[in-house]
Amino acid sequence: GQNIDQPTEMTATEGAIVQINCTYQTSGFNGLFWYQQHAGEAPTFLSYNVLDGLEEKGRFSSFLSRSKGYSYLLLKELQMKDSASYLCAVRDAYSGAGSYQLTFGKGTKLSVIP
């Protein structure tokens, strides 16, 4: 099984940088995903990490430390449209077609204020 923890809510100022942390305890691991979800909408893919280190994609970066069971999502130059929930999800180790599900954290609701 998986246990995934992330803060419930965060507030940050437009133009600033915010870091959303995620810790996980898993029986297997085959990658960590970050998704963005605006209220009432579908989650949309932001990033994927399977090896330790930092993955950068524009204003968004994601970091993974497998030994610590830790990841963070870094958002730079915050914009009002970044106000959304950010979901951390871990994929089980692949051991057959049945074990490919994503286990999501509860999400971090980010509010960007002027």
Only one of the segments 10-18, 62-70, 72-80, 93-101 lies at the binding site for another protein (rule: CB under 8 A); that segment is 93-101
The CB-of-66 to another protein minimum distance in angstroms stands at 13
Contact flag: residue 11 with another protein (CB under 8 A)? no
Query: Between residue 32 and residue 71, which ones bind another protein under the rule CB under 8 A?
Result: 33, 35, 41-45, 48, 50
Q: Could you give the CA distance from residue 88 to residue 14 in angstroms, rounded to a whole number? A: 23
Contact 107, 85 (CB under 8 A): yes
Q: Which of 97, 110, 112, 113 binds another protein (CB under 8 A)?
A: 97
- Which lies closer to another protein via its Cβ, residue 67 or residue 97? 97
User: Parallel, antiparallel, or unpaired: how do β-strands 53-57 and 60-65 relate?
Assistant: antiparallel
- Which lies closer to another protein via its Cβ, residue 98 or residue 114? 98
Only one of the segments 13-21, 63-71, 76-84, 87-95 lies at the binding site for another protein (rule: CB under 8 A); that segment is 87-95
Residues making contact with another protein (CB under 8 A): 4, 30-31, 33, 35, 41-45, 48, 50, 87, 89, 93-94, 97-107
